[in-house]
Structures are given as structure tokens and as C-alpha cells.
Amino acid sequence: MNAQNMPSKLALSLTFLFVLLGWSTVAFSALQGEYEIMEGEPSLHEPGKVILLEFADFYCPHCHMFERVVVTKLQKEFGEKFESRMIGFPVMPGKLPTVFEMYNQAVTMGKGQRMKEVLFQSIHDKDIQMFDKTMRSLIIKEVGLDTTEFESGLASGKPFQTLGKGKEWGERIKVTHTPTVVLDGNIRIKNLNFDNLKIVIQSILDQDKKS
């Protein structure tokens, strides 16, 4: 590079950087509602869609209530512009990880949402606490999956590995309770009522229309 041109090119580069940072600040500051941007966490945002990541425990009654009331209402409100994904984060003592593995396996087979609903209902509405092979068979059929393929997937250990990765992520961002909600991978929501989540999600979608 020509030494005489270095100052002007450096100034141009810095100006471009400041503009980019400015755009980023404006985008974040334009979001409405109560939220926190988690520095260092990458965004998983897909234009025109908001992903709600819920760190949850199937045995947690608060998670069951949040899923049944808030997530259901958000799904009706935003339709295809909204997706809910559960990150298994066990906090209730003395419980086996089987249900989390079942959910993770169902996700790989395209029935994660239905499995999540059935597991929450089984635990909190039917008071089923143990999920041995016989009980799993009944639930797998209710969800509409092939039992042999499902059990083979469980035995592979991959659903358990997925659980471990989710726990590692939760511990890294200091999840201390369930449910904990993160939108698009880096927007943490502390006020989990429907109205606040609706406002934040709508403002993200509005930003997409402007960009």
C-alpha cells in the first residue's frame, strides 16, 4: 500500500466501521419492550421470523404453564413468523433425563412440538413420572412416530448429547431458573408475560420490514 494513501484509507475504513456500529445500535435501540442484548452471543435471527428458545424442565410446573398459556398465545398471534424451541435444562432434583432425550429424538423426526405437548401433559395432568420402555411405546404411538426408529435413535446417544450441549449453553449464559427465554439466540427476556413478549417480537419483525 502507498504510504501517502494510508491516512485517507484508514479514515475511510474507520468511518465505515462507525456507520456499521451506528446501524447496529439503532437497530437494537429501536426494539420495544423489556429485554437484554447478550454481548458475545451470535444472533440466530431469520428475516421475517422470530425464534423463541426456552430453557425449560419438563418437570417444572412454571414451564408447563408458560408453554400452555404464553407460547400457545404467541403461536396464534404470529403464526409462521414465530417458532418455539425448547432447550432441555433439568433443574428439578431426582429426575431421570429420559423425557429430555425423548423430546430431542422427536425433534430429529419432525415431531418435537407434539412430543413436547404430550410429555408436559403426561407429567402434569396425568402425574406420570417414570418413562420406561412400555410407557415410551404408548407415548411414541400417541405422537405418531415409529417405535423401532425412535428407540434406535435414543440408543444412539445423540439425544443425550444434545441435552448436554443445551445445558452447557445455559450454564455459559448463566441460566439459573426455568423457564428462561432467549429470542433469536441473543435477546434475553426477563419479563415473560405475554404482552411484553408480544411487543418485543413485533418490534423485531417491524425492524425486518425496515431493513
Say if residue 27's pLDDT is above 90. Answer: no
Say if residue 13's pLDDT is above 90. Answer: no
Stated pTM of the model: 0.83
The string of pLDDT tens digits covering residues 125-182 is 999 988 999 999 999 999 999 999 999 999 999 999 999 999 999 999 999 999 999 9
Banded pLDDT at 11 (limits 50, 70, 90)? very low
36-210 placed in CATH 3.30.360.10: no
End-to-end CA gap in the chain? 35
Compute CA distances 185 → 38, 54, 130, 173, whole Å.
9, 10, 32, 11
Host H or E run for residue 189:
strand 187-189
The string of pLDDT tens digits covering residues 54-65 is 999 999 999 999
Query: Where exactly are the structural domains of the chain?
Result: 1-30, 36-210
